Amino acid sequence: MSTLSDLVYAQGRATEADIEWLHRLAGDGQLLADLAFADIVIWVPTEDDSFIAVAHTRPSGAATLFYRDIVADRVRPQWRTQVREAFQSGRIVDSASPDWFEETPTRVRAVPIARSRGAEAPVVIGVLTRHTNLGEARTPSRQQITFNDCADDLFGMMSTGHFPDLSAPTSPRRGAPRASDGLVRLDVDGMATFASPNALSAFNRLGFQDELEGESLVEVVTGILPEKRQFDESLPVVVTGRAPWRADIEARGVTVSLRTIPLRDRGTRIGALVLCRDVTEIRHQEQELITKDATIREIHHRVKNNLQTVASLLRIQARRSHTVEAREALTQAMRRVSAIAVVHDTLSEGLTQSVDFDDVFARVLKLVAEVASAPNTRARTHSIGRFGTLPSEFATPLALALTELVTNAVEHGLAGQEGDVEIVADRSGDKLEVRVRDTGSGLPEGQVGRGLGTQIIRTLIQGELGGTIDWHTIMGSGTEVTIEIPLRYIERRKS
C-alpha cells in the first residue's frame, strides 16, 4: 500500500509543509474517529479535478462502513460534489439527506483541511470526510453527545487552520492516551464540564474520590500530588488546558498520562479536551527496560575492564620473557584479548546489542600499530568501504579474525620491508565481503600457513559466522584474503 507521502507527492500539488500538516492530522485520525463514532477519510485533490484518499481510520467504538481499505481510491461519485464544495468554499458541508453505502444508510460530513500560514490566510489543502453509520442508530448517551460535540469543535478548528497544532509534541510516548481511555472537557476557566467514566476511574486510582465535573482540574491535581515531590514542569499548563502538551501524574504508585488539546473558536480559546490514561504498567515496563539496559551496559563495561587487565598482564609477562617465541606468543594473545575488549567497550556505550563495526574496526587497526612499527618494517594500513551495523555475537569473531589477518599481513607479508595493507569492505543486501591485501612478497599459490593464527581465522569465519575464506597471491606481488559472510545467516541468528 502506498504511504500518505507517496500518494500526495504523486498528485504534484502539495508542498513539504502541506504533507507535514496532513501527517499530523492523520496521526490524530484515531482520536477523531473515536470522538465522532465514524470512519474518517482524508482526501487530496488530483490534477483531473477529482480527489484521492490518502488516509483512513476506523472508529474503535462503532461499526465501520469500510470493511476494505479505501486508501488510494478515487472519491466516489456520490461524495464528489460535496467534497469539491468543501474544498473550494472552505466551509463544512453536510449531506442533505442520508447517503446509502453498500445498503447501509450513512451521514457524510465534508470538512476542509486548512493549513495555517502564520499571518497569511489559511489555505485549503484537502478535505476530511466523516462517514457515520446510521444503521445502528440509537438514543445517544451523554458521553456520545459530548464526544460528538468535541469532534465538531475539532472539525471547526480544522476548517480554520487551528488543528492540528504544530506546537504539539510529535512522536508520542508509548501509551499515549486515547479518547476511549478517558476524556475530561474543560471550560475556558479550567473547570471540568464533563468527565467520562474511564477518566473518573483513573483519577480515583490516583486518590481523588469525588466527582470531577464542576471541579477545577488544577485544584484536583494539586490535591492529588504528594508533597515535596518533583512533578512534570509542563503539568500546570496541561491541566489548565492552555497548551497542547503531555504530562504524567504520579501518586499512590499510580501513573496517569495526560494529553491536552486546547479548543478554539476562530482563534479564541473556549476550553480544552484532556485525554487521560492509566499507564502504570507501561511505565513500570519502561523502567525495567531502562534498568536492564543499564545493567547490560555495566556488564559490558566490566568485561572490557577485565579483558584489558588480562591484556596488561600478558603484556607485562611478555616483557619479562627470556625467549623470542614466548614473547611473541604472549604478545599475540594480548592483541587478541584487546580486540575482544574493543567490542565490549563499544557495546557499553550504547543501548542496543548491535555495534557500528566501522568504529570497532578503526579501533582494532590501532592494535596492529605496534606490529607495524617493528624494526625494518614500515606498514601503512588503509580501510575502504563500510561494514555497517552488526549484532554483537558476530562483531566479536569478525573483529578478532580481522585482527589476525591484518597482523599476519604486516608480520609475514611485509616483514622487513615497506608496503601497504588495504582492507576493503563491501556490504550488499545479502552478504558482507571483506578483502585484506598487502603489497608484500606473497605466498606460493595454494599454500596457506598452518599456525595458530590461521586456525583461529578459519574457526571464527567458517564456524562462528558461517562464511568462507580464501587466500591467494595477487598477480605480481602481495597476498589477498577474501572473506564472505552471508547476511541472511546473521539475520536468522539475530531472530
- In this prediction, residue 406 carries a pLDDT of 83
CB 108 within 8 A of CB 98: no
d(CA 34, CA 62): 8
Indicate whether 487 pLDDT > 90.
Answer: no
Residue 372 — very low, low, confident or very high, per pLDDT cuts 50/70/90? low
Min mean pLDDT across 344-348, 477-481, 489-493 is at 489-493
Q: Which helix (H) or strand (E) holds 52?
A: strand 51-57
Confidence band (pLDDT; 50, 70, 90) for 376?
Answer: low
Q: Which residue has the higher pLDDT, 42 or 416?
A: 42
pLDDT of 276 reads 94
Share of the chain above pLDDT 90, in %: 34
**Residue 374 pLDDT greater than 70, yes or no:** no
Lookup result for grid cell 527496560: 289
pLDDT of residue 420: 82
Minimum mean pLDDT range among 78-82, 128-132, 365-369, 477-481: 365-369
Query: What is the pLDDT at residue 2?
Result: 64
Q: Is the pTM of this model over 0.85?
A: no
Task: Give the highest mean pLDDT range of 230-244, 270-284, 345-359.
Answer: 270-284
Residue 325 pLDDT level (bands cut at 50, 70, 90) = confident
Residue 489 has a pLDDT of 52
C-alpha span between 268 and 285 (Å, rounded): 40
Q: Is the pLDDT of residue 301 over 80?
A: no
Count the Cβ atoms, other than its own, within 10 Å of residue 294.
11
237 CB neighbour count, 10 Å cutoff: 15
Q: Does the structural domain 372-495 have CATH classification 3.40.640.10? A: no
Find the mean pLDDT for residues 246-259: 90
Examine the pLDDT at 402 and tell me if it is beyond 90.
no
DSSP 348-406: TTSSSSEEEHHHHHHHHHHHTHHHHTSTT-EEEEEEEE---EEEHHHHHHHHHHHHHHH
Q: Quick: pLDDT tens for 61-116.
A: 888 888 888 999 999 999 999 999 999 999 999 988 777 777 788 899 999 999 98
Q: Which residues of 91-118 are buried (b: 16+ CB within 10 A; e: fewer)?
A: ebbebeeebebeeeebbbbbbbbbbbee
Task: Kindly write down the DSSP assignment for every residue of 72-125, as one continuous string.
Answer: TPBPPHHHHHHHHHHHHH-S-EE-SSPEEETTEEEEEEEEEEEEEETTEEEEEE
So what's the pLDDT on residue 318? Answer: 80
Architecture of domain 179-278: 2-Layer Sandwich (3.30)
User: How far apart, in whole angstroms, are the C-alpha atoms of residue 82 and residue 112?
Assistant: 11
The answer as to CATH 3.30.450.280 being correct for domain 4-159 is yes
pLDDT of residue 352: 65
pLDDT surpassing 60 at residue 444: no
How far CA 121 is from CA of 90, 118, 167, 464, in Å, comes to: 11, 8, 19, 64
| pLDDT, tens digit (0-9, with 9 covering 90-100), for 115-139 | 987 777 889 999 999 999 887 767 7
Q: What is the pLDDT of residue 365?
A: 78
What is the mean pLDDT of the segment spanning 390-401?
A: 82
- pLDDT at residue 155, rounded to an integer: 96
pLDDT number for residue 373: 58
Q: Which three cell numbers mark 483?
A: 572473506
Across the chain, what does the average pLDDT equal? 84
Model confidence pLDDT, tens digit, residues 151-201: 999 999 999 999 998 888 765 566 789 999 999 999 999 999 999 999 999
Q: Note the pLDDT of residue 351.
A: 58
Is the pLDDT assigned to residue 295 strictly greater than 80? no
